[in-house]
Amino acid sequence: MNSRMLRNICRIVLLFVLFTVVRVEAAECPEEIYSAVGEHFGLEAFEPREAQGHVVAEACKIWPASANLILATFAYDSGIEDEKDFIVVVFDRQRRRLVSSYRSKIDEDAVTEAGEGSLTIDTARYELSKGVRAFGVRFHSTARGPSCADAGYWDELTLFIQEKTKLRSVFKHDMQYQRALQGCIGSATGHDVWEYGVLTLSVMNTKTNGFYDLRLVDTVTVETNMDNPPVTIDFKKRQSTGILRYDGIEYK
């Protein structure tokens, strides 16, 4: 084999790898993961809706901690009213098998519904201890919710760690919210005042029960649809900080 042929083969391999990486990073799950998850849990029609399957939401992403592993999460309709299966797995691309898994339920109601785009994977550096790196799954409800609500919460973040063949949740919290200080949410009356809260999570250098503590910062802004809001409304951005500690099972 001459050097030109070798270079061409290398280019083809590189393009295939790049295509695979982009495909996974775009949150589109490969068919082999669908097959592995469906077989592992014994689920029928474990395929996307567009393929006449019962999976209503999906997300996949390469884990920066190990490029050979793909993180995947699914919402699956098993036919039970007001309920979806919530599945999270770690998939080994070389061995083509699941490394670890988690399964629970998503209870649905007027404000909570799993649908297309509901799931995303968070691979920030959640280094909770030496050799223990968590990853996150974020859930966004597709439900319309009430037409005039007092408050709303969304962007639920769950952190998972691996324990042999199982994944375990150690943190769960809504990372965004909205409250009506005057009027209501979802119905513009012209005299509404709302506050928006966005929470950010970071790992500290102090430890409790072997895991690093977590800092939760809440940044709140106030908005209104009034043309001439009264001077009593404080529009200044404010922040508050909370410290979460591991109790041996989860962060509180």
* Number of Cα atoms under 13 Å in the Cβ half of residue 213: 12
The phi and psi torsions of 20 (rounded to 5 degrees) equal: -65, -45
Task: Give the pLDDT score at 7.
Answer: 42
Q: Tokens 């592993």 map to which residue? A: 69
Of the listed ranges 46-55, 177-186, 191-200, 217-226, the least confidently predicted one is 177-186
Looking at every residue in the chain, the average pLDDT score rounds to 89
pLDDT over 70 (residue 28)? yes
Of the listed ranges 12-26, 41-55, 183-197, the least confidently predicted one is 12-26
- Closest by alpha carbon to 45, among 77, 17, 3? 77
Average pLDDT over residues 86-112: 96
Tokens of 208: 């409790």
The phi and psi torsions of 77 (rounded to 5 degrees) equal: -90, 105
